[in-house]
Structure 1
């Protein structure tokens, strides 16, 4: 009888093949390994089946259909790969839980909320340590420049030119790099942070720009953890469609505020949005256009523009 590889072994093989083709698959890899652990925990034996896929997809915390649909979407290409080696493999239908992609309304932080969030960083443990100062600087940078969390935490000292007020983003999404200009006030805050950071001798040998206590570079996990602690302390609740506040909403807030500002000042948003898309590191300008309907306020503006266009006054 031919030996059947475990799901974890098959997943390792699958990810290796896809990554050789240039796909990063970080989130997908984590999801697939979660699937393998789930199958092992429930004692599943045999090939991947639709029944197993449904059971795993439905087991997410909260049981949201969108989450389940996205799990099926991750599982389908892996199932197709497995079928090459095990003909008994079943490929779960795409629409088992409906559409896997739906743009959810983000929580748009107000200026007062961002200021409060940064101020509360002083209360992070250890008192007066670098953790609080680093988180405050990262939150402020994301809110004022729209950086992704991973882009901010990956910054090195050589990536940050405060005299020219430029950041070199080397590890953007899909491996793309770009230069990001920052506002003079943002540069001043980062300069003050850097002076405080360098007063700690344990940070001097670190190449990372944002450093926690004992010279440890800030990570996306540690910054996200601190963010959720602060939001729980403040008892904030999300105003968007997501069940929980997310650190990436600082990036979304930057874009929404920028568009609202442009509309308020009568700027031609259609002419400026390509520059904004490049600034944000979006792969497609359509990803940036989505923000025009991301909040009720922007949706109302878009609707008014549509009406004006129909009347020939746009």
Structure 2
């Protein structure tokens, strides 16, 4: 094992113990170390890091910047032990990430998606009820799709109306309260699941008709088919995604607070905790993406300026 590879293992272990999952970053760093080993290079230099980051000319510049950022973080760590390590400058591959604007579903569109889910074949199996319940749960809880896929039977407390989301983004776990109508929908799904999979040892909440855990790829493919079926996908706009229900939940919650006369910004820390965000600023992004919320924020800012002056 090369010295650089050993240092990489120690670096990834340290950061993962701090709560960072580093799935993609770990794979990228592994690729960089292989590149260095092929070059027989023992020390990181800015020129080698830049060469590796731009190794794939077909990818977008933002991916180059992300690849270089992974190496830069490793180099910062390594420089404390190796004086020959060169840290790539922060602006070497400048590229700002532009977060894609969410698709905000109307209530009617959600009803049509759920109706399409209930029409999924075959009629006699669990599949249609799995997607009906999964999409419905996403629309009323603001959970990440990956969090819903990872739910297990023990995470659903119907008596207390609470879901337990375990080891989510940044390694956090949290409790998510649900409405009684959501509890009833989950109870109905669990009864159907038990009838279809009686005696199955599978512990995941949402499963295939064969009793296997659902994969994110299969769910995404099925959701694409459902939205195509009801005419929500064309070349003139961004295609709707399951994660957009998380955005919709956030802006709907904040807009409801504003209409009731409450200051949404005061409730941002509460919503941030509910959504499992690490920082409140991540939740504030939803305000920026909604015209009604931004208009309200501007009005509050103007009032504060008048009060100060």
The answer on whether the counterparts of 1:166 and 1:179 sit within 8 Å (CA) in structure 2 is yes
Q: CA deviation at 1:14?
A: 4.5
Map of 2:22 onto structure 1: 25
Q: Which residue of 1 aligns with 2:242?
A: 247
| 1:288 and 2:287 are equivalent in the alignment | no
Matched-pair contact (CA < 8 Å) for 1:73–1:100 = no
Change (3 A) 1:166 1:291: same
Equivalences, count: 302
Question: Normalized against structure 2, the TM-score is what?
Answer: 0.80
Task: Name the CA distance, whole Å, in 2 between partners of 1:238 and 1:268.
Answer: 38
Match 2:147 to one of 145, 151, 154: 151
The equivalent of 2:130 in structure 1 is 134
Alignment deviations for residues 203-240 of structure 1 (CA, whole Å, 9 cap, x no partner): 64222111112111223333233223334444525998
- Are the counterparts in 2 of residues 69 and 99 from structure 1 also a CA contact under 8 Å? yes
Change (3 A) 1:305 1:103: farther
**1:45, 1:118 → 2: CA distance?**
54
For residues 36 and 230 of structure 1, the distance between their equivalents in structure 2, rounded to whole angstroms, comes to 42
**CA–CA distance in structure 2, aligned partners of residues 11 and 123 of structure 1:** 50
- Provide the aligned C-alpha RMSD in A: 3.5
Aligned to 2:268: 273
* Deviations 1:23-82 (CA, angstroms, capped at 9, x unpaired): 321232244456678x69xxx74546144234246532xx2x444333322232234567
Unaligned residue ranges in structure 2 (runs of 5+) = none
Give the 3 Å change call, closer, same or farther, for CA 204–50 of structure 1 in structure 2. Answer: closer
Provide the C-alpha distance between the structure 2 equivalents of 1:117 and 1:309, rounded to a whole number of angstroms.
43
Q: State the SS of the aligned residue for 2:54.
A: helix
Q: Which moved more, 1:49-58 or 1:247-256?
A: 49-58
Give, in angstroms, the shift of residue 17 of structure 1.
4.5
Question: How far apart in 2 are the matches of 1:86 and 1:179?
Answer: 44
What TM-score does the superposition give when structure 1 sets the normalisation length? 0.79
| Secondary structure of residue in 2 paired with 1:214 | coil
